[in-house]
Amino acid sequence: MKAFGKILGLGLLGLLLIIVALGFALTHLFDPNDYKDEIRQLARDKAHVELTLNGDIGWSLFPWLGLELHEASIATLNTPKEPFADLQMLGLSVRVLPLLRREVQMSDVRVEGLNLTLARDEQGHGNWEDIGKPLPAQGEPGKAAQADATPAAGAQPRPADGNERPVKLDIDSLTVNNARVQYTDARTGNSYNAESIQLSTGPVHEGVNIPLKASAFISASQPNIKARTELAGELRFDRKLKRYNLEDMRLSGETSGEPTGGKTVTFAAQGQLLLDQGANVASWNGLKVSANQLRALGELNLRDLDKAPQVSGGLSIAQFDLRAFMDSIGHPLPATNDATALTKLELVTRLQGTPASLALEDLAVKLDASAFTGRVAIEDFAKQALRVQLKGDTFDADRYLSAKSQEAKGATAARQAEVQQQEASAVAGAGSTPLPNAPTQVAWSNDKLLPVDRLRALDLQADLSFGALTLDKLPISNARLTANGQGGLLTLQTLRGDLYNGSFEAKGTVDVRPAVPQLGVNTRIQRVPVEHFIKTDGKQQTPPVKGLLTLSSDLTATGNSQKALVDTLNGNANFTINDGVLVNANLEQQLCQAIATLNRKSLSGEPRGKDTPFQELRGSVVVRNGVASNPDLKVRIPGLTVNGHGDVDLRVLGMDYNVGVIVEGDQRAMPDPACQVNERYVGVELPLRCRGPLELGAKACRLDQEGMGKVAAKLAGNRLKDKIDEKLDEKLGDKVSPELKDALKGLFKR
């Protein structure tokens, strides 16, 4: 037995030596470079590709089947002179004996200088689609394609029962250096490039983690963008289960181009990626994303990958400066009234989405000093279908309004100067100063108000509520806003809330379908202090009037700026102010001056008060092209009856009123003798004229000297009549009948 074993061992050793010798002979005596033409023809006949071998072919046979190609390229048979792939060098080796067991054991695989050029022509046909397809037979188009679809005669179909043992991969490493991939589309003119591609892996074995590193420079033409990327992680795959994991994935890099306004954005992403094609699901767990100042955590899950993919998950964004972030990515936010607005933003939400929609459910947002909860969704990206349901604690909307332009600031300053000049000369005292001039400076801005193009494309449904909302410096509590918009027509269904122990509600429409936007608004205000609606820019000023305002209005306007809207303002309104005060305007003193003038006396005392209280002020307004006409002003003041009519020019916030006052005189315990009303003055209307900036209020009112002349003439006539009546009574006495006496007196009335 020992001899037999020894003989067998020597025989196997001899066979091995023969095989090695044969391999040596083949690899040294047989040169594949001598058969390049045959190899090319074999590639045409079997693989249906055009193979060009400009460099040498190196090879080994045993125990490694090694191959090394230099300066090679591949093209389709349809375009043999236009290769879609070429490389400088490809080197690989495969163990021979494991191949018999359907095991691929390879040493290091190296690819140098790979160029892959993919192109789609104007008909939408890609140059890669003809790979492996034979040329069609002449005169028989489509026959070759049919032949490809038919199995060759005598070929045995592969079993479909899944029992075939898969090929087992075993590669020491894979290295790709200086590769390049280019894609162009003639239909759109777009092109995409990935250059300087570097890829390296550790040992490649199925079912175990494979360390990998990759980097590339990526660019696109439309929009013009460039990016540098680096990827690292550990890949695990199971081909039978169609399951792929990229663990400890770390992606980083930076990008710049048109989308970022030429600014550089540094980005990074981490997490655990899973793709399970068998279950048609994918996930990204332990998600960490950063882009400049932005930091986000969360997880994403996808399902139904073979149908319409559905995404779900959670996202948390740490507090960051939104204004600085948008500026760093080339999209600076417009300047706002408050320069510190939009500097603090953080959110937590649950995601739900499809390829056409995205919803942020259970949303919790903190923006500056405000907090919101609710839902924000884009139901259709193509239609820009935005759905918003939010509830906030406090929100100061004034902080986020667009800041005034320099032109608007200049106009505001000019008007303030005009008002201050008028106010300095408006003395609400004896009423002897000249009547203020009508204002001339426009009070409104030409700055654009509405993003018309965006609104025309917007499909909006919004439902917002606030515990406390500040709007135009008005503190609104329990505010509610509902609105919708589609096709360029936006409807404010309601904006209501509590305001200074009163309430208000507004409804309206904004139609941006025409070239010039059209607005309509319907407003109801109930017992809100009117002084809060009377504001001027700049320093804090005392309001000219106080009281509880009740207002109803129905107004329309066209334009896209404050000035345009005011210039085209039309409609009507009704107003009432109860329990009010004319501030810093002693109307009683003004009227006493009028009575003293009629009495031909001078007031002896000083004014005892600065304000004039009133019980009610009411009237109606008709607005035509920015001018509000009020024909029926009524004011109830203790001891006075006031009637008025006039205009308020909203374009310059100026007023011009004629006011008639019926006065009872000085009703104080110690009246001024010059301000006592004679019986003949009862029912006489004393005229006032009010003209000037609206902010002056009653301080802009003066005695109407022309009207006072008419009143004096009327009173003089009444006095003459009284004297005639007295003389007739003295002369006639009881000599004539009362009827005749009245007839004689009547002659003097004519």
- Residues 176-201 have pLDDT tens digits of 999 999 999 999 889 999 999 999 99
Burial of 661 (0-12, 13-18, 19+ CB in 10 A): buried
Could you tell me how many helices (H) and strands (E) the chain has, helices first?
A: 11, 33
Compute the Cα dihedral for 220, 223, 227, 229 and give only its sign: negative
SS3 string of 146-165? HHHHCCCCCCCCCCCCCCCC
Within-domain flag for 393: no
Q: Which of 176, 211, 241 is the last residue of a domain?
A: 176
DSSP 356: T
Domain that holds residue 53: 20-126+167-176
288, 270 in Cβ contact below 8 A? Answer: yes
Q: What is the token pair recorded at 279?
A: 């279950």
- Angstrom distance (rounded) from CA 32 to CA 42: 13
Residue 554 lies in a domain: yes
Per-residue pLDDT reduced to its tens digit, 374-422:
999 999 998 889 999 999 999 999 999 888 777 777 767 777 777 776 6
200 occurs within a structural domain: no
**Span 442-451, mean pLDDT?**
86
Q: pTM of the prediction?
A: 0.76
Q: Report residue 220 CA to chain centroid gap.
A: 27
The answer to whether the beta carbons of residues 462 and 481 sit under 8 Å apart is yes
Number of structural domains found in the chain: 3
Q: Are residues 686 and 733 in the same domain?
A: no
DSSP secondary structure, 247-271, as one string: EEEEEEEEEEEGGGTT--EEEEEEE
Q: How would residue 466 be classed by pLDDT, with cut points 50, 70 and 90?
A: very high
Task: In whole angstroms, give the CA distance from residue 86 to residue 353.
Answer: 41
Residue among 575, 535, 534, 533 at smallest CA distance from 554? 575
Residue 672 above 80 pLDDT? no
Same domain, 581 and 631: yes
Q: What is the pLDDT of residues 22-68, one digit of tens each?
A: 444 445 555 667 767 777 787 788 777 888 888 887 766 556 667 77
Calculate mean pLDDT across residues 612-616.
Answer: 82
The verdict on residue 442 lying in a domain is yes
How far is the C-alpha of 634 from the C-alpha of 182, rounded, in Å?
A: 81
Tell me the per-residue pLDDT of 702-718, one tens digit each, with 9 for 90 and over: 777 666 666 666 655 55
622 and 737 co-located in one domain: no
**Quick check: is 33 in a domain?**
yes
Distance CA 537, CA 337 (A): 13
pLDDT at 602: 66
Residues 662 and 561 in one domain: yes
For residue 727, pLDDT over 90 is answered with no
How many Å is the Cα radius of gyration of the chain? 46
Tokens 């009519």 belong to which residue? Answer: 645
Whether 14 is in a domain gets the answer: no
Confidence of residue 219 (pLDDT cuts 50, 70, 90): very high
* pLDDT of res. 192: 94
* 585, 446: one domain: yes
CA distance 181 to 604: 101
Is 97 buried (19+), middle (13-18) or exposed (0-12) by CB count in 10 A?
Answer: exposed
Shared domain check, 598 and 672: yes
At 218 the pLDDT is 95
| Pair (695, 724) in one structural domain | no
- 113's torsion region: left (phi>0), alpha (psi -120 to 50) or beta? left
Euclidean distance between the first and the last CA atom of the chain, given in angstroms as a whole number: 167
pLDDT of residue 160: 44
Is the domain of 636 the same as that of 580? yes
571 & 690 share domain? yes
Q: Examine residue 38 and state whether it is found in any structural domain, yes or no.
A: yes
Q: Are residues 82 and 26 in the same domain?
A: yes
Query: Average pLDDT, stretch 438-460?
Result: 87
Which has the higher per-residue pLDDT, 646 or 84? 646
444 falls within a domain: yes
Residue 721: is its pLDDT beyond 80? no
Q: What percent of the chain has pLDDT over 70?
A: 73
SS3 at position 616:
strand
- The per-residue pLDDT for 592 is 65
To the nearest 10 degrees (0 to 180), the angle between helices 587-599 and 705-732 is 50
Mean pLDDT over the full length of the chain: 80
pLDDT of 574-602, one tens digit each? 999 998 887 776 666 666 666 666 666 66
Q: 598 and 724 in one domain? A: no
Domain match, 112 and 48 both: yes
| Rounded Cα distance, 399 and 340, in Å | 9
